[in-house]
Amino acid sequence: MSAREHEQRHASARKIVLSVNQLLEQLESGRDTSLDLQSQISQHLNALAREVQALEALLSTIPVAQRSLWRKRVSQLQDESASQRAALGKFAGQVAAKQRHEEERQALLHRRTNGADCAINIDAIAQESRKLNESHSQIDDLLGYAASVLSETNRQGSSLKGIQKKVLSIGSTLGLSNNTLRMIERRLFGDKLILYGGMALTMGLLWFVFVHLRREEAPKTPH
């Protein structure tokens, strides 16, 4: 009875060993590296360990003449089981190392990407600052030019007023007719219109340029 049970358990253990070898071959060749396959191999090895323990427990029931042979068979099963467990552990370690390496690589790429984004943002801010400074400088130059134009226009207006008074005074002294004096006044009035019209046109152009620069200076709203 014990010898028959030994034969059955040994046959079952050998069958498990062969199945595990086939599964390990799939795993190590790369045809199937899934966690399901690794779990299946682990379950087979646990079943093999139970069969080996049962065989060891039955050794004492084997006749003395056959006991040495069965010890060798059990020892062989133990060696094969240990070798298969080592192969599974080695593969799992390689997978874990590869996964850890990939995670470290992704983390490094993420840090580099964030650093590049930060550098791009800094460059964009610096460029925007330069543009703002240039716009401010252009506006200051424009305001200075406008002030000089107004100053020159006021000076010319004062000169025209002085010329008008002198002409009228000279005309009165020389005894010019009223028609002649009125003609001179109309001519001077026309000069004033041209002068002030030029002032208005100049200020309008300056205002247009000023508004255009302010629009370019204003930050764009992101969509």
Tens-of-pLDDT digits for all 223 residues of the chain? 466 788 899 999 999 999 999 999 999 998 998 889 999 999 999 999 999 999 998 888 888 888 899 999 999 999 999 999 999 999 988 888 888 888 888 888 877 666 555 555 666 666 766 766 665 566 566 556 555 555 555 555 555 556 556 655 655 555 555 666 566 667 666 766 776 676 677 667 767 766 666 665 555 544 4
**pLDDT at residue 33, as a whole number:** 86
Asked if 123 and 162 count as a contact pair (C-beta separation under 8 A), the reply is: no
Look up residue 9 and give its two tokens: 């358990």
Task: Classify residue 33 as left (phi > 0), alpha (psi -120 to 50) or beta.
Answer: alpha
3-state percent breakdown (helix, strand, coil) of the chain, nearest 5: 90, 0, 10
3 state DSSP class of 62: coil
The reported pLDDT for the residue numbered 77 is 94
**Residue 222 pLDDT:** 46
> Which of the 8 DSSP states describes residue 61?
G
CA–CA gap between residue 55 and residue 70 (Å, rounded) = 9
User: Which pTM value belongs to this model?
Assistant: 0.47
What is the per-residue pLDDT for 103? 83
pLDDT at 223: 45
> What is the reported pLDDT for 151?
58
pLDDT of residue 110: 77
